[in-house]
Amino acid sequence: MTTRSPVARDLAAFAALLADETRAAFCLALLDGRAWTAGELARHARVAPSTASEHLGRLVAGGLLAEERQGRHRYVRLAGARAAQLVEDLVAYTVPGAGVPPPRSLREAGARDAMARGRTCYDHLAGRLGTAVTDAMTARGLLGQDAGFALSDRGLRWFRDLGVGLEAKGRRPLARGCLDWTERRPHLAGVAGAALCRHALDAGWCVRIGTERAVRVTADGERALADLLGIGAEALR
């Protein structure tokens, strides 16, 4: 009798965490980088609070989510950048594709368009906005993509002149390419991607819209991105 590998067993158990539509919906919602309450996720996935609690317990126990408690409130978020990257990479394998149904309403079509135009991918910019920024940084010599993503000396000075710190935490890379599931091209992730996204939101270059991860570039953002990176407004709309 063949002895099964414990690695295979563990992989199957981990994969089972996302083999449920409700748990998958929770992880997709948490790609916005924020902490959600169990009640908020239950309403988002349209399930009973008791059902949400059961699924969240499995995700926390499996290491995909981390739990935080403040008083009587229970918050959950993705366990970290690696967990977010895993979920986003899996999405890139499945969307878009021939099996993706067309939008069922104008509202759903509008939400999809907004997500494709610009969104957050955990803690960095994605969609046409994210790839436009990445392409512009590459064209200006701030970012290299020849052998993986790497900031040049000029790129490091660009962040410094912008007043954006690049303090690394743990083993997270300074710059990393993340496959964009709508553009099918990489956008900037890692410490630099997170710092730039945070600055864009804090400076009012982008604002969150709706309850999804979609963001909209403001008039101030259009001017800043044009001045700093030469990105035309038409590429952001």
Predicted confidence (pLDDT) per residue in 107-146, tens digit: 666 667 888 889 998 899 999 999 999 999 999 999 999 8
Q: Tell me the C-alpha distance between 232 and 237, whole Å.
A: 10
Residue 12's CB: how many other CB atoms inside 10 A? 11
The SS3 of residue 68 is strand
Burial class (CB in 10 A: 0-12, 13-18, 19+), 203: middle
Q: Which two tokens stand for residue 53?
A: 């609690």
Instruction: Return the pLDDT at 99.
Output: 42
Instruction: Return the pLDDT at 89.
Output: 83
Task: Look at residue 96 and tell me whether its pLDDT is greater than 70.
Answer: no
Instruction: Return the pLDDT at 100.
Output: 46
Q: Tell me the C-alpha distance between 1 and 144, whole Å.
A: 52
Beta bridge partners, 206, equal 217
6: cis peptide before it, omega within 30°? no
Backbone torsions φ then ψ of 151, nearest 5 degrees: -75, 135
Name the pTM for this structure: 0.74
Burial class (CB in 10 A: 0-12, 13-18, 19+), 100: exposed
* Residue spans per domain, the chain: 6-79, 83-98+107-236
Residue 87: C-alpha distances to residues 16, 17, 162 (Å): 13, 11, 31
Q: What CATH number belongs to 6-79?
A: 1.10.10.10
Residues 40, 34: contact at Cβ < 8 Å? Answer: no
Q: Tell me the C-alpha distance between 125 and 224, whole Å.
A: 15
pLDDT (tens digit per residue) in 19-78: 999 999 999 889 888 889 999 999 999 999 999 999 999 999 999 999 988 777 789 999
Element spanning 38, H or E: helix 38-45
